[in-house]
Amino acid sequence: MAFQSARRLKVVLVSPEVLGFAKTGGLADVSVALPRALASRGHQCTIVTPLSRSARHGPVPLQATEKELGVPIGNKEVTGRLYRAVLPDTEVPVYLIEQRDYFERDDPRCGRGLYDYVAGDGKRRPYSDNSERYIFFCRAVLEALEALPFWPDILHCNDWQTGLIPVYLREVYCQRGDDEQRNRYANIATVLTIHNLAYQGLFWHWDMLLTGLDWRLFNYRELEFYGQLNFLKGGIVFADRVTTVSPRYAAEIQTPYFGCGLHGVLWERRASLSGIVNGLDESVWDPARDGYLAANYDAETVGVGKPICKADLQRRFNLAPNASTCVLGVVSRLVDQKGADLLCEAAEAMMQQDVQLVVLGEGNPVYERMFIDLSRRFPDRIGVRIGFDEALAHQIEAGADIFLMPSLYEPSGLNQLYSMRYGTVPVVRATGGLADTVIGYDGKASDVESATGFVFQAPSAEALLDALCRALCVFRNEPEIWRRLMMNGMKQDWSWSRSAAEYERIFFELQKERVLVVDGRRNQGR
Ligand code: ADP
Ligand code: GLC
């Protein structure tokens, strides 16, 4: 039975992406798994997200509520409506902010994503009204609070799209109305989780006029960033706590190399900054129950099930059906962050070994073309699928022998966790969540007890190839050790309840602090 906490928290998780409604990356998975894990620990949770086109046409039925939302954007009033749904297989309500012009334009068939689109020159460009869209979203979330089934103790914001929520809460909602109303808002604690510091929501300074916030806040300690308006910085400065998705990344982002210009602000907030590694949603990622696989397996039956999945994967990519060839898998956004250039550069040298490579991804058209070229040059050894394909992602995790993640930086990373769970040995660069979750095998007998993969340091194709060679050596020559690495990975506990317990601890601390703050205000007669 799931652990139940003695006290119940009321948590509203706000996210621009929620699996089953809209997804571009791991944030969507987290936005479902964390509330589900918190709910099974006895807390009351709800999710708020924009009503995108993919959500409108998605598998989960949506219901309009009575709640109309009116938000001032500059000198106009923009209206929307609150919709409601229920997270599949749970009782967690999901509230969707409807505003057709802002949020229902995503359509992969026309190259239109949630935040960007493919322009005439083939490059991806952000929508020119992104600031307006997410200013609306942030204020609409605060307007919607009245219509939610409970008043929150915690508003858990995620990434730049939600960065202005803590700012509006403290600067607008805690300042207006009578004492009682102000205290209600003051009682809410905010947490901002940074899933990727490289995306900050940076806009022209005149967009301050759209926010309706006082120009006083446009200074280098608050919303201003080298002359621009920075949503994420606003969140970092105004949230009560800032978390990111691994302890290593929390430390990295306080340095100039990883800090994307915000290292100073993050360092100033270091007492309120911590890292919690993402978990793995076992209801979605479990090789024993995964409906996408040609065969299901667990740690006992991996020797039987995995070869069936491998043969199925080779067939899907028209690769030679060779059981002894090592299959390397990649499922990734094809962007600089993920080391897509290192992979392209190393691929040719990889082909000198008895390996096959399967790649599923989309992103930068330059990398997309490079991978397609590679698959044309090595048609029976490199298989490439450009696009987003949930089923194929599962089939690669199960069918590959090795999973490659040469990320230049990686806040947490989910795919290495999925790989370990599926008995697919990860080869990763030692950064962020990859460094925190994969234990490298260095060929020493003592490592065998705990190692789960192969780790390299330098962000270069040579270092990746070197780690891959070490892995291939063990794969071919030391099957007992290889099996041990697979087992170590499969048996690790990356369940969400582990991560949820860490969030819960922070939420309780904050709840206690807020009560003190609000009592202090009352005593001062404010
Ligand atoms: P990020 O969020 O930075 O992209 P993560 O490792 O945290 O990286 O999460 C990526 C998630 O998106 C995983 O669930 C992965 O399986 C999925 N994913 C990425 N690209 C694709 C794709 N092309 N098709 C299907 N799933 C994908
Ligand atoms: C971001 C990061 C990734 C992380 C995910 C979910 O997209 O790039 O490392 O796992 O968010 O937190």
Find the length of the chain. Answer: 526
pLDDT at 115: 98
Assign 6 a pLDDT band (cuts: 50, 70, 90): low
Into which CATH architecture does domain 10-279+497-523 fall?
3-Layer(aba) Sandwich (3.40)
pLDDT at 263: 98
CB-ligand 2 contact for 195 (6 Å cutoff): yes
**Three-state SS at 134:** helix
Q: Nearest to residue 381, comparing CAs of 462, 326, 307, 305?
A: 326
| Side-chain-facing half-sphere of 275: CA atoms under 13 Å | 23
The 228-230 sheet, strands edge to edge? 202-203, 228-230, 224-225
pTM value is: 0.94
Model confidence pLDDT, tens digit, residues 101-159: 999 999 989 999 999 999 998 888 999 999 999 999 999 999 999 999 999 999 999 99
Mean pLDDT of 156-168: 98
pLDDT at 58: 96
> Which residues contact residue 75 at a Cβ distance below 8 angstroms, ignoring those fewer than 6 apart?
none
Query: DSSP E strands: which ranges in 324-407?
Result: 326-334, 355-363, 382-386, 402-405
Residue 2 has pLDDT above 60, yes or no: no
Assign 4 a pLDDT band (cuts: 50, 70, 90): low
Mean pLDDT of 40-66: 97
Interior angle at CA 368, CA 362 and CA 369, nearest 5:
160
pLDDT at 1: 41
Residue 189 has pLDDT above 50, yes or no: yes
pLDDT at 3: 55
Instruction: Kindly give the interhelix angle for 461-477 and 479-490, rounded to the nearest 10 degrees.
Output: 110
Residue 216 has pLDDT above 50, yes or no: yes
Q: Nearest to residue 115, comparing CAs of 261, 123, 124, 397?
A: 124
Ligand 2, atom 11: nearest CA belongs to which residue? 195
* Other beta carbons less than 10 A from residue 251's beta carbon: 17
Residues with CB under 6 A from ligand 1: 25-26, 29, 331-333, 360-362, 388-390, 393, 412-415
Residue 490 has pLDDT above 70, yes or no: yes
**Residues 209, 242: contact at Cβ < 8 Å?**
no
Q: How far apart are CA 74 and CA 103, in angstroms?
A: 19
Residue 514 has pLDDT above 90, yes or no: no
Distance in Å, CA 406 to ligand 1 centroid: 14
Mean pLDDT of 490-516: 92
**Residues 104, 53: contact at Cβ < 8 Å?**
yes
Residue 524 has pLDDT above 70, yes or no: no
Mean pLDDT of 283-311: 97
pLDDT at 123: 85
Helix (H) or strand (E) holding 28: helix 26-40
Assign 25 a pLDDT band (cuts: 50, 70, 90): confident
CB-ligand 2 contact for 25 (6 Å cutoff): yes
Q: Phi/psi at 507 (nearest 5 deg)?
A: -60, -40
pLDDT at 7: 80
User: Cα 487 vs. chain centroid, distance in angstroms?
Assistant: 26
Assign 242 a pLDDT band (cuts: 50, 70, 90): very high
Map tokens 């190399």 to a residue: 257
Token code pair at residue 166: 């803590």
Q: How far apart are CA 342 and CA 465, in angstroms?
A: 9
pLDDT at 447: 87
Mutation pick for ligand 1 pocket among 331, 359, 417, 438 (CB with most ligand atoms within 8 Å): 331
Ligand at shortest distance from the CA of 397: 1
Ligand at shortest distance from the CA of 31: 2
**Residues 79, 70: contact at Cβ < 8 Å?**
yes
Please state, rounded to an integer, the average pLDDT across all residues of the chain. Answer: 95
Q: Nearest to residue 22, comparing CAs of 52, 64, 48?
A: 52
Ligand 2 atom closest to Cα of 432?
Answer: 9
Locate CATH 3.40.50.2000 in the chain. Answer: 10-279+497-523, 302-493
Whether the CA torsion 69, 71, 75, 78 is positive or negative: it is: negative
Ligand 1 atom closest to Cα of 337?
Answer: 3
CATH 3.40.50.2000 fits 302-493, yes or no: yes
Residue 525 has pLDDT above 70, yes or no: no
Model confidence pLDDT, tens digit, residues 438-487: 999 998 877 899 999 999 999 999 999 999 999 999 999 999 999 999 99
Residue 522 has pLDDT above 80, yes or no: no
